[in-house]
Amino acid sequence: MSDNADLAALIRNIPDYPKPGIMFHDVSSLLLDASGYRTTIDRLAALVDPDTALVAGIEARGFIVASGIAYALGLGQLMLRKPGKLPGEKIGIDYTLEYGTDRIEMHVGHVKPDQKVLLVDDLIATGGTALAGVDLIRRGGGKVEQALFIVDLPNLGGAEKLRGQNIRVDALIGFDGD
């Protein structure tokens, strides 16, 4: 992680959300700032491996980040969706979150065999959602070797879990604590 203090200053911190003792780092305030949003996308796009074929965004804020990166680099975007959002044939994976369980899905055939897919989300905490995304893309035939985030909460260990899966992880901003 480089400094990126200019972008960190645009992120609103909300104490005790969604439960007491949690500091919620709300990137929506960064996205509201046109210059900050453009700078975020430009800095993330500069980190993308050159042989990347698709950018996978995790619903919902991950779509916003993935769309910007895909557009900037002239790549397609793969959407990893919550249940009930995709028509047609799909595969899915259930996973554990900090506060419960969830599921993400993607269309069958949207990833070509051995296609290199970049995983993107707004924030990585414990890594449950990101690891589920990696597993889903791999089950669909793709390769995930890199993941990008605006924010990393390193004390929660999610980025390290991804690195344990041989994935290069980059984030623009790190916040200590949770």
pTM of the model: 0.94
Q: What is the end-to-end Cα distance of the chain in Å, rounded?
A: 18
Percent of the chain with pLDDT over 70: 97
Which positions are annotated as active-site residues? 61, 98
- Segment holding 70, helix H or strand E: helix 61-73
Q: What is the pLDDT of residues 74-133, one digit of tens each?
A: 999 999 999 999 999 999 999 987 667 899 999 999 999 999 999 999 999 999 999 999
Among 61, 136, 65, which Cα is nearest to 94's?
Answer: 136
Q: The CATH number of 5-174 is which of 3.40.50.2020, 3.90.25.10, 3.20.20.450, 1.10.3720.10?
A: 3.40.50.2020
Domain extents for the chain? Answer: 5-174
- Helix-strand-coil percent breakdown of the chain, rounded to 5? 30, 35, 35
Amino acid identity at 29: S
